[in-house]
Structure 1
Amino acid sequence: MNLDFIRGCDNLVSTEDNHLLTRYPATEEIKMAIDSMDPNSCAGPNGFNGPQINHLSCADDFVLFTSADKFSIKLMMNLLGLYQNDFGQEINNDKTFFITHSKTNRIYNKRIRRWTGYKQSSFPFTYLGCPIYSGRKRISYFSDISKKVLNKIAGWQGRFLSPGGKATIIKHVLQSQSLHIFVALMPPVTSLYEIEMQFGNFFWGEKDGKISYHWSSWDNMSYPTKEGGLGSRVYLTSIILLLLKDGGD
């Protein structure tokens, strides 16, 4: 395209104006802009006049690590007390617990219960949807994640859905529901196979209260649509690809 006609147009922005528009702001200008902002609002798309903050956006579960001596525990309890007083959020003592090594003397565990007022628990426990455990992986540790997927399937099982609708739910709802957890914490392969088996049962449906015959295995159904599959990847393959992507970045 010939753009020679632009040369005949008048310049509306002078060289001095262009220099002022492209230069970096001075420290005083940044300070004046920040001081002029409303302290009860956050930045919007244009940097100013954002919505008022009325909720603390953070995870409501925390894992704290400390030593078992009296000084460290008392210091932690004082910090938790300051947090409750300053932010107005109270810690739920019924849901709060502490965990020590399995070989810790009972006397120390009793002292910790007395100093904190919290109950004692043991591994495994769930933190932000992920099972936290000690030792080797067990299938039972990931049963809660599998149950969430199965409950989701049960909610859609009784509805009349076309094969294309079921394929869309599997790819964009069921698989993505727990994929980020599996990437953060690689589960046993058996747990993945059990979930994929439920995907196949959901796709082929039920008849007279019995699971319909699977005319194709889940591995074959996971091929791309151009090759006759549903386009949904095998769980294990998706996890490995995401792990490689995170490692490459």
Structure 2
Amino acid sequence: MTTWDTPGKYLELPAIWGRSQNKALAWIEEKIMNKLEGWKERLLNQAGKEILIKAVIQAMPSYIMNVIKLPKSFCRRICAKVARFWWAASGKERGIHWKKWESITESKSNGGLGFKDLENQNLAYLAKQAWRVLKNPNAIWVQTLKSIYFPDGNFWTASGKKGASWIWRSLL
């Protein structure tokens, strides 16, 4: 019988999660940092940075945000790294942050740049999943959740019982 030292990944997610959520998500943070460091700030103008941030960096955690609620500290760290990249003049120098991150995440029509606020985006994705639980009660994955977490009730009365999965706790 063969055994695994490291179980690997399935759909870019670790097959086994540890107890520490931040530790479990470290691989996303590392991938984002590798992308940011791969592009030198001096090679991209502001328009190029905007495209890189919107199309690559903010899209990387999208799949996992559909499944689990990211810790606020994790979202803040990612946003801080993106802001540092956005405002940096050249190389590793720190740039002056001329506007708050909250104002940059506003839509362009409201004077922002339209960058995603990861916390709000994460909640929107999870609300979509909760809606799918309510609208597709016959889906296999919904029936599985129902049999485990709310066998005698409905989604609205379900609670996060002790030992519930990170995915289930994220939906509540």
In 2, Cα distance between equivalents of 1:248 and 1:224: 25
Q: What's the CA shift string for 1:85-140, capped at 9, x where partnerless?
A: xxxxxxxxxxxxxxxxxxxxxxxxxxxxxxx1325668xx64332233254x4312
**Structure 2 length as normaliser, TM-score?**
0.66
Q: Highest CA radius of gyration, 1 or 2?
A: 1
Shift of 1:159: 4.5
| 1:124-135 alignment runs, 5 A limit | 126-131=9-14, 132-135=16-19
1:143 aligns with one of 5, 12, 26: 26
Say if 2:7 is the partner of 1:117: no
For structure 2, which runs of at least 5 residues remain unmatched after alignment? 133-172
Q: What is the identity, as a one-letter code, of the residue corresponding to 2:2? A: G
Please say if residues 66 and 125 of structure 2, whose CA atoms lie closer than 8 Å, have aligned partners that are also in contact: yes
Identify which of structures 1 and 2 has the higher relative contact order when contacts are C-alpha pairs closer than 8 Å and 6+ apart: 2
| Identity across matched positions, percent | 24
CA contact (8 A) 1:157 1:205 kept: no
In structure 2, the residue corresponding to 1:201 is in which secondary structure?
Answer: helix
Q: 1:189: which partner in 2?
A: 72
What displacement does 1:161 show?
2.0
Q: Deviations over 1:18-61 (max 9, x none)?
A: xxxxxxxxxxxxxxxxxxxxxxxxxxxxxxxxxxxxxxxxxxxx
* Among 108, 112, 135, the residue aligned to 1:229: 112
Does the alignment pair 1:163 with 2:69?
Answer: no
Determine if contact 1:130/1:185 at 8 Å carries over to the other structure: no
Within a 5 Å distance, the mapping from 1:207-222 to structure 2 comes to 207=90, 209-222=92-105
> How far apart, in 1, do the equivalents of 2:10 and 2:91 lie?
40
Moved over 6 A (4+): none
Residue 131 (structure 2) pairs with residue 248 (structure 1):
yes
Q: Would you say how many aligned residue pairs link Structure 1 and Structure 2? A: 131
* CA distance in structure 1 between the partners assigned to 2:59 and 2:98 by the alignment: 25
Q: Residue type of the partner of 1:234?
A: D
Matches within 5 A, 1:4-23: none
Partner of 1:21: none
For 1:39-188, list aligned pairs within 5 A.
Answer: 116-119=1-4, 126-131=9-14, 132-135=16-19, 137-188=20-71
- Distance in 1 (CA, whole Å) between partners of 2:3 and 2:85 is 43
Deviation at 1:207, TM superposition (A): 4.1
Q: Which amino acid aligns with 1:198?
A: K
Contact persistence 1:170–1:199 (CA under 8 A): yes
Distance 1:204 1:231 in 2: 15
Matches of 2:127 and 2:17, distance apart in 1: 24
Contact 2:88-2:94 at 8 Å conserved across structures: yes
Query: Residue 176 of structure 1: SS of its match in structure 2?
Result: coil
Decide whether aligned partners of structure 1 residues 192 and 243 sit closer, same or farther in structure 2, where only a CA change above 3 A counts. same
Report which of the two has the higher share of helix.
2
Q: What is the TM-score when the length of structure 1 is the normalising length?
A: 0.47
Q: Cα RMSD over matched residues?
A: 2.2
Does the 8 Å CA contact 2:36/2:85 hold for their aligned counterparts? yes
Q: Deviations over 1:153-180 (max 9, x none)?
A: 1112344222222122211211012211
